[in-house]
Structure 1
Amino acid sequence: MDEDRQATFGSDGSLDTETPPEAREGTTDWGESKADGETDGGYNRYDVSSLLQKAVRRSDEEVAAWAAWELARSGYAWNLWDRLHLYVVEDLRAGQDVALLVERYETLATERWDPQSWKGRLCAIHAALSCARARSSREAANADEFFRNAAAARAEVRGTEADPAVDFPVSDLEPGGPYDVIFDKHTAEGSRRDRGEGFFKRFGARVGPDGEDEQSARWQRLNMAFSDVEYGEDELDHAVEPVEEGNRWEDPVAFDGEGTDEDANDANAGGS
Structure 2
Amino acid sequence: MADGDDRQATFGSDGSLETDTTPDATGENDFGEEKAANETDGGYSRYVVSSLLQKAVRRSDEEVAAWAAWELARSGYAWNLWDRLNLYVVEDLRAGSDAALTIERYEALATERWEPAEWKGRLCAIHAALAAARARSTREASNADAYFSAVAEVRAEARERGEQPAHDFPVGDLEPEGEFDAVFDGHTGEGARLDRGTQFFKTHGARVGPEGEDDQSARWQRLAMLLDDGTDYSPEDLDRAVEPVDSENPWGDSDEGDESDLDDQSDADGDPGGDTDDPESDRPGSLSDFSG
**What is the TM-score normalised by the length of structure 2?**
0.83
The equivalent of 1:152 in structure 2 is 153
Counterpart CA distance in 2 for 1:184 and 1:168 is 22
Tell me the equivalent position of 2:283.
none
Q: Distance in 2 between matches of 1:30 and 1:113?
A: 27
Q: How many residues align?
A: 261
CA shift, 1:87, in A, is 0.2
Correspondences of 1:51-66 after superposition (within 5 Å): 51-66=52-67
Matched with 1:26 is 27
Instruction: Provide the rounded CA distance (Å) in 2 between the counterparts of 1:163 and 1:16.
Output: 46
- Relative distance call for 1:162 and 1:70 in structure 2 (3 A) is same
Name the counterpart of 2:134: 133
Match of residue 284 from structure 2: none
Give the SS at the match of 1:231: coil
Match of 1:140, SS?
helix
* Among 245, 250, 253, the residue aligned to 1:251: 253
Partner secondary structure for residue 130 of structure 1: helix
| Residue of structure 1 in register with 2:117 after alignment | 116
Give the 3 Å change call, closer, same or farther, for CA 25–5 of structure 1 in structure 2: closer
- Is 1:81 equivalent to 2:59 in the alignment? no
Deviations 1:172-230 (A, max 9, x none): 11112111111101101101111000011011111111111111111111111111211
Name the SS of the counterpart of 1:262 in structure 2.
Answer: helix
Alignment of 1:158-173 (within 5 A): 158-173=159-174
Q: Distance in 2 between matches of 1:147 and 1:39?
A: 39
Instruction: Decide whether aligned partners of structure 1 residues 93 and 164 sit closer, same or farther in structure 2, where only a CA change above 3 A counts.
Output: same
RMSD: 2.4
1:225-263 Cα deviation digits (max 9, x unpaired): 1112111122101110011111111112349xxxx9334
Q: Is the 8 A contact 2:22 2:76 kept in 1?
A: no
User: What is residue 181 of structure 2 aligned with on the other side?
Assistant: 180
Q: Which has the larger radius of gyration?
A: 2
Q: CA offsets, 1:19-67, max 9 Å, x none?
A: 6647542211110110001000000000000000001111111000000
Q: Deviations over 1:91-135 (max 9, x none)?
A: 000000111111111111011111000000000000000000111
- Structure 2 match to 1:211: 212
Distance 1:264 1:75 in 2: 72
Deviation at 1:159, TM superposition (A): 3.7
- AA of the residue aligned to 1:206: R
Q: Tell me the distance in 2 between the aligned counterparts of 1:234 and 1:190.
A: 21
Residue 162 of structure 1: how far off its partner (Å):
1.8
- Taking structure 1 as the reference length, the TM-score comes to 0.89
| Structure 1, unpaired ranges of 5+ | 267-272
Is 234-243 or 3-12 further displaced after alignment?
3-12
Q: Match for residue 230 of structure 1? A: 232
> 1:174–1:22: structure 2 CA closer, same or farther, 3 Å change rule?
farther
Secondary structure at 2:231 match in 1: coil
Q: Which moved more, 1:1-10 or 1:141-150?
A: 1-10
Deviates more, 1:211-220 or 1:160-169: 160-169
Query: Taking every aligned residue pair, what percent have the same amino acid on both sides?
Result: 66
Give matches, 1:89-108, under 5 Å. Answer: 89-108=90-109
Contact residue 225 and residue 231 of structure 1 kept, 8 A: yes
Of 208-217 and 2-11, the range deviating more from structure 2: 2-11
Secondary structure of 1:158's aligned partner: helix
Preserved contact between residue 207 and residue 245 of structure 2 (Cα < 8 Å): yes
Letter in 1 for 2:90: V
Whole-Å separation in 1 of the counterparts to 2:61 and 2:203: 49
Point out the structure with the larger helix share.
2
